[in-house]
Amino acid sequence: MQNKCDSLINSLKNADQSIGNARIKSAKLNEENNLITVEIISDVAVPSDSVIFLEQSIKNNLPKNFNVKVECHKSIADASILKRAIYHFIVSYYSSISHTVTVDDVCIFNSANKFIYEIKVNDFAYNYLARTAFIAELNEYLFRNYTNTVEGSLKMTIKSEEPAVYEEYSVNESELTESSVRRLKVLCVEKTCDDVVYDMATYIVDGINELGTVYFAGVVETIEEKVTKNGKPFYVITLNDKTSRVSGRFFTADKNKLKKIQKISEGSNIIIRGENELFNEHVNLTIKGFHFCEFPNNFIPKEKPSKPVPERYAIVKPKQVESVEQSDFFSGVASLPQDVLNNVYTVVDIETTGTDVVNDKITEIGAIRIENGKITQEFHTLVNPEIPIPARIVELTGIDDNMVKDSPKLEEVYADFFKFVNKTTFVAHNADFDFRFLYNAGKKLEYVLTNEVLDTLELSRKKLPFLKRHKLNIVCEHYGITFHHHRALSDAYATAELFLKLKREK
């Protein structure tokens, strides 16, 4: 269907030049009502009469029982948009190597009215991607989403992110302190089915998607004997180490090894050496050897250390605040307590799809930096939550699906927020809500917020006990603070001013 529509659109460009460099983004058939919805992007805003012309032309080329709806959008990308789009494509469609690539590894050049991209990858990712249709698929993705002419290539760099292979009985733990991959030491290793003995294992949750040689330990949940198409036996073993579980296959024609694996039963404690390899874009574990051991009974997984604060902002860069109103905001700065003048604060507000920290998503982040009692910077971004925004939330915030569809995902901008809030006191109104959302979201991305938290809701209850209610709009109204409710940056500004007003209260 899409190829047929492509040919038709190309023939229509000469008939109606007002559609510009139009192309098909998608064509979807609803079989219930025989409606074909065709989404078209162009480098110009397509007039409504041209949309009607397109609908009729497409309909004339289809069987009579089909209806057509055309949706047109102007879509021209600049270098920064293409950079984010390429990184988004890698994360979405080539997740197995996405951990080896950052946004900064995507370079965009403008040459002869077209964009040239270059993606820097390590040797492992390069060798893998070179065997796939990665470049062709990426170019097709960009073609379907943007009207610019885009070409690109891979560039292999010398950086290496191959997992380490352990040859000795024990690993020097001091060499691992900088790694974000956590490891545990098992006890009483009984050499069983491998030439090399080892007692250090990676937490399953950290290593399950790491390619190359891996070491896992835990309790055997299941062991199942199966047979290949050629009639050769193999075993599927599932391990659990309290952080996650992983299943791996063990193949051998060695009768001695077969006898040893038959000693494993549910509840056995083992440590395995294996290879994580890609197959059909999924990571599969093949067990190469194993030993019986004692898994620590009192094992409590260590909290995963946070990734370091990025050296520079990638997508969302703070803006310096030079506002005429600021002098009105902070007249009488000298009356502020010394602790406020000596500390740095980040006043934060977020908008979300709901109040469920586990299932709802962030749609907007607004943050204000206060230094020496004055607002100095602002940080703001819309966020694509990747789930529909409920109607009640749209009514409340004004943020709908269309507003965020081209915005970056949270994993693309969280590092920038993490950098902005670093080494500051986290301030918010009803701070538990904002901090829990951002903490949980960051933890999944391996960024752990450790900021001291200050809640202006609690502070207002303490300083203004005569107010019956202490919602942000009510307390702001008490001080005459301009308040535009339920947009993150506006709320953050109002909360910042409120914070300083409250701190002046005796």
Q: What is the dihedral of CA 464, 465, 470, 472, to 10 degrees?
A: 10
Q: Are residues 267 and 290 in the same domain?
A: yes
For CA atoms 460, 465, 467, 468, the dihedral sign is positive
Residue 299 in any domain: the answer is: no
Q: Are residues 84 and 216 in the same domain?
A: no
Q: How many CB atoms lie within 10 A of CB 57?
A: 17
Residue 387 in any domain: the answer is: yes
Residue 300 in any domain: the answer is: no
Q: Are residues 336 and 450 in the same domain?
A: yes
The candidate with the shortest Cα–Cα distance to 481, out of 459, 467, 468, 500, is: 500
Q: Are residues 340 and 426 in the same domain?
A: yes
Q: How far apart are CA 412 and CA 450, in angstroms?
A: 20
pTM for this predicted structure: 0.51
Q: Are residues 151 and 197 in the same domain?
A: no
Q: Are residues 473 and 373 in the same domain?
A: yes
Q: Are residues 191 and 115 in the same domain?
A: no
Question: CATH number of the domain that 222 lies in?
Answer: 2.40.50.140
Q: Are residues 426 and 287 in the same domain?
A: no
Q: How far apart are CA 273 and CA 91, in angstroms?
A: 28
Which residue among 39, 74, 109 closes a domain?
A: 74
Residue 308 in any domain: the answer is: no
Classified as helix, coil or strand, 222 is strand
Which residue among 47, 74, 101 closes a domain?
A: 74
Residue 111 in any domain: the answer is: yes
pLDDT of residue 11: 67
Which residue among 137, 156, 175 closes a domain?
A: 156
pLDDT in tens, the chain (506 residues): 445 555 666 666 666 677 777 777 777 777 777 888 888 888 777 787 788 888 888 888 777 778 888 888 777 777 888 888 898 888 777 766 777 788 888 998 876 678 889 999 888 778 778 888 889 889 888 888 887 888 888 887 754 433 333 333 333 333 333 346 789 999 999 999 998 899 999 999 888 888 888 999 999 999 999 988 888 889 999 999 998 999 999 998 888 898 999 999 999 999 999 998 877 667 889 999 999 999 988 888 888 788 899 989 999 999 998 643 443 444 444 488 898 999 999 999 999 999 988 889 999 999 999 999 999 999 999 999 999 999 999 998 889 999 999 999 999 999 999 999 999 999 999 999 999 999 989 988 889 999 999 999 999 999 999 999 999 999 999 999 876 666 899 999 999 999 999 999 87
Question: CATH number of the domain that 64 lies in?
Answer: 3.30.300.20
Q: Are residues 346 and 441 in the same domain?
A: yes
Classified as helix, coil or strand, 58 is helix
Q: Are residues 407 and 447 in the same domain?
A: yes
Q: How far apart are CA 307 and CA 146, in angstroms?
A: 33
Average pLDDT, rounded, for the chain: 84
| Domains contained in the chain, number | 4
Which residues are tagged catalytic? 486
Residue 115 in any domain: the answer is: yes
Q: How far apart are CA 147 and CA 106, in angstroms?
A: 19
Q: Are residues 117 and 59 in the same domain?
A: no
Residue 312 in any domain: the answer is: no
Residue 304 in any domain: the answer is: no
Q: Which domain holds residue 88?
A: 79-156
Q: Are residues 31 and 99 in the same domain?
A: no
The candidate with the shortest Cα–Cα distance to 95, out of 302, 278, 337, is: 278
Q: Which residues pair with 216 in a beta bridge?
A: 272
Q: Are 136 and 143 in contact (CB under 8 A)?
A: no
Q: How far apart are CA 209 and CA 446, in angstroms?
A: 15
The residues, ordered by sequence, that sit 6+ positions from 354 with a Cβ below 8 Å of its Cβ are 360, 390, 393
Question: CATH number of the domain that 144 lies in?
Answer: 3.30.300
Assigned token pair, 221? 């949940």
pLDDT of residue 452: 94
Q: What is the dihedral of CA 169, 173, 178, 183, to 10 degrees?
A: 70
pLDDT of residue 169: 34
